[in-house]
Chains A and B, each alone.
Chain A
Amino acid sequence: MQWEAVIGLELHAQLATSTKIFSAASTAYGADPNTQACAVDLGMPGVLPVLNERAVRYAIRLGLALDAEVAGRSVFARKNYFYPDLPKGYQISQYEIPVVGRGHLDIDLEDGSKKRIGVTRAHLEEDAGKSIHDGPGTLTRIDLNRAGTPLLEIVSEPDLRSAREAVAYMKKMHSLVRYLGVCDGNMQEGSFRCDANVSVRPVGQLAFGTRAELKNLNSFRFVERAINFEIQRQIELIEDGGTVIQETRLYDPDRGETRSMRGKEEANDYRYFPDPDLLPLEITPALIDEVRAELPELPDARRQRFVEAHGLPDYDAGVLTSSRDMADYFEAVAGGCDDPKLAANWVMGELAGALNRDGTDIADSPMDAESLAGLLRRVLDGTLSGKMAKEVFEAMWNGEGDADAIIAERGLEQVTDAGEIEALVDEVIASNPEQLEQYRAGKTKLMGFFVGQVMKASGGKANPQQVNEILRSRLDG
């Protein structure tokens, strides 16, 4: 039987506010345990939540970017359950009426086509603290620094049909939240997390199969592996006559498999009800307009502009707009050298290669955009050949200075003086009479030999185009 996977993702984006969603405590990552939890975060008696306005603005930003409806009135609700890292015994979330309603995000498929993925909703909520079970001794430690950190939970429709599509969607959303500046996207620190709902059904069947919810998917790679494992597990289970049960499964990256949590969690009745400590969140059209005005250019629009204004191929524009940092870098290089295509080739080629080799993000690139533009200006004015430029690039990457300094120091200026090149050509022809004879007898492939000899004689500095022209006129003349 042919099977089809049906996947929906719940993405948790930690909002890049400096303070928590309901208190004034700092959200900075990495502080000593429990040093960034105030009375509100600790759930002390008598304290009350006060909504962080910036978190609301960030939610509106994402809503607008997803072309979604931003609710004029949304409601915070309490999700009640007991856990030691949940100080109040409830999490403040949004349940029936979320701040962001139905929207969509377009992803690129491998065959070059686009697919529109529905976004069901996005809602604001507070994060819980952390339970640390693997410390010394048998006790569990609680760190409440994270408690109250603002999260936006973005729920997709079950529109994804493969692990690759799921990853493409997640990457696109990851790029979008960073573009918008609403989330730093740092997956190691847990700023961007994913749960996946996965089910399978026979191709052609309309009804969904029973789904499993996968947790602990901390990287794009894990998302892909976990979903693929889970799809296979469910297919095999059904084909062997079993049935999939609705449950939460934890991904174990070491073993590359998902395992049932089989906890009491499934039996939880969260007893959601509107939080009486918070008034309904009212968002006026004026506020939406204000947030719209501060929106940066969105990735898809920017991609379109790169194609139209810079004349780039759609693929290149897609790669260059995959992150805001990359797109900003590219635009700075293109502006600095005034040749967008050359800039695109270098950013996607040498630069991306070097970054990849060093495992560095473009935001932390040791070579800034202006330096790269300086190098490309020397290519465009003929000072450097493509080959020489790569050599200079490496030197720059290794911190030896800017392009002009390296060119001067290494004496790398390209020789473009026609007289000088003619002298070299004559010298090479004179010292290789045999090859000259063969060439003139029709073995024109020897042209390459002569070019190579002239370049070698110039120490690689002669302008190759000029060398070709002069050689041809001498040999054929």
Chain B
Amino acid sequence: MHDRTIAELGVGLAQGEYSSVELTRAVLEAIERAESLNAFITVTPDIALGQAEAADAARARGEAGPLTGVPIAHKDIFCTDGVRTSCGSRMLDRFVAPYDAFVVERMRAAGAVMVGKTNMDEFAMGSSNETSWYGPVKNPWDVTTVPGGSSGGSAAAVAARLVPGATGTDTGGSIRQPAALTGTSGLKPTYGRVSRYGMIAFASSLDQAGPMATDARDLAIMLSAMAGFDPRDSTCVDHPVPDYAAALEQTNLAGLRVGLPREYFEADGVDGGVSRAIESAIEVLREAGAEVREISLPNTELAVPVYYVIAPAEASSNLSRFDGVRYGHRCEEPVDLEDLYKRSRGEGFGEEVKRRIMVGTYALSAGYYDAYYLKAQQVRRLIRDDFSRAFEEVDVIAAPTAPSTAFALGAKADDPVQMYLSDIFTIAVNLAGLPALSIPAGFSGSRPVGLQLIGRHFDEERLLSVAHGYQQRTDWHTRRPGGEG
């Protein structure tokens, strides 16, 4: 039963086919059996069973929503009251948060059952889940390959049908790219759609939490619970939250204007199998009546360099609080303050995190600020303007999510630039603050390919209903590793 969608589980629970406690037990067993995937950093059976009991009781009282009693997992970047919140880092290996993140609060309030915290690249810095202090996550489709990152644990857990849904965060593609590499669905909402409160910051102006699940319907159910205004996050937007699931049928694919950015399709280094799968996916949209046209996003090639100035700059400052003074890793027997700082941070952070702190510190330094940070912010505006112009002509933009399918563990681990290029199609969306999702769109060989759909600000309803329309015409989202849909 644990391998069904959230919507299906909602029906099963409502009809008394199984209780949330039974479902949660099954999920916990599945997680245990799949331990070798390393998808979880912390499993929380006691909390899960307690919440499941409470959910069953709520259902008995007639107080059940679509997520009541449904087991889900949280990326370990979200603070969870009383539960270790490691952010994939040795720095926070023993950190127990004293509060819940907004997203955690909201999922709990919706009745979802937290079964554990998923593995991730350290401080969400990575595209393969190999930078985690807790070791790499394996892609359930082929355990010699990576699941993508940074939300690799959530993606692998959903792909392996350990949980029907999980939360993720996306700073430069960290929901969409792992969704693509694991054949799952993932949505990065508009910047400001979901509160960042309690979500450990990587790059504050880019970070956004979102849902990961098997299909668009489940994404919609989860987003309805996660979205909303929160006065504790000043960048959160007070924008009405529609019932996303109810809106799934609202967009007719017939007449939908779909833009294909020339720069994305002509980019070097795109895997041939990926291109073919995306072309077929676009053909599906066209057959359903969508009006497909080429568009241009002329500043596309600047997105990666701009991102790798802005994100590390913000990160270098955001990660300053991890100093060994109040919480987190502290070196043994520091001889003085400087020693405390140097060794605590030197031991607590991994290589990729240190690399980005150094890059970011450099970009903000006196004499370099104008040339790097300021210039990057200016180009960021140009990138946003590209999208604004494009959305005057089209309703959604379609493109590959990632240039390749899942790559072998270790293949890019020593080549940061190659690794950074895995986010070449996802990064501009974060710079522009737009919503985008990735859905399964076939295979290249035996490895899943993701189709990315990008929408206007706060146009998640349309994105989800286009994705839903596509999924009604295809069955890629029902394929699962090692089995038939």
Chain A residues within CB distance 8 Å of chain B: 39, 42-51, 78, 80, 82, 84, 87-90, 142, 269, 271-273, 276-279
Contact = CB atoms under 8 A, between A and B. Distances in A.
Nearest to B78: A46
Closest A-B pairs by Cβ, 9 of them: A89-B320, A276-B204, A271-B364, A276-B205, A43-B321, A46-B198, A45-B200, A46-B79, A46-B200
Interface of B: 78-79, 85, 87, 92, 95, 97-99, 101, 196-201, 203-205, 231-235, 313-314, 316-317, 319-323, 325-327, 337, 341, 361, 364-366, 369, 373
B314 A45 contact: no
B365 A78 contact: no
B199 A44 contact: no
**Majority secondary structure, B binding face:** loop
B232 A78 contact: no
B162 to A, nearest CB: 25
A269 B366 CA distance: 7
A78 B196 CA distance: 19
Nearest to A42: B326
Given A46-B97, A47-B198, A89 B323 contact: yes
B326 A87 contact: yes
22 contacts: A43-B326, A45-B321, A45-B322, A46-B85, A46-B101, A46-B197, A46-B199, A49-B234, A78-B317, A82-B341, A84-B323, A87-B321, A87-B325, A88-B320, A88-B321, A89-B323, A90-B317, A271-B317, A271-B365, A273-B364, A277-B201, A278-B234
Contacts of A272: 364, 369
B205 A47 contact: no
A192 to B, nearest CB: 29
A80 B337 CA distance: 17
Contacts of A279: 234-235
A80 B341 CA distance: 15
Contact of A82 (B79, B323, B365): B323
Nearest to A40: B232
A331 B85 CA distance: 61
B320 A84 contact: no
Given A48-B233, A84-B325, A273 B373 contact: yes
Contacts of A47: 197-198, 232
Nearest to B373: A273
Contacts of A90: 317, 320
A45 B95 contact: yes
A278 B205 CA distance: 10
A55 to B, nearest CB: 14
A82 to B, nearest CB: 6
A19 to B, nearest CB: 14
Nearest to A270: B366
B326 A276 contact: no
Contacts of A271: 316-317, 361, 364-366, 369
A90 B87 CA distance: 21
Contact of B320 (A42, A50, A82, A269): A82
A47 B314 CA distance: 15
B41 to A, nearest CB: 15
A89 B200 contact: no
B337 A84 contact: yes
A365 to B, nearest CB: 43
Given A44-B97, A46-B85, A271-B361, 5 more contacts: A43-B321, A50-B232, A273-B313, A273-B373, A276-B235
A279 B321 CA distance: 21
Contacts of B78: 46
A270 to B, nearest CB: 8
Given A39-B99, A82-B323, A89 B366 contact: no
B232 A48 contact: yes
B77 to A, nearest CB: 8
Nearest to A34: B326
Contacts of B201: 45-46, 277
Nearest to A273: B364
A42 B341 CA distance: 17
Contacts of A278: 234-235
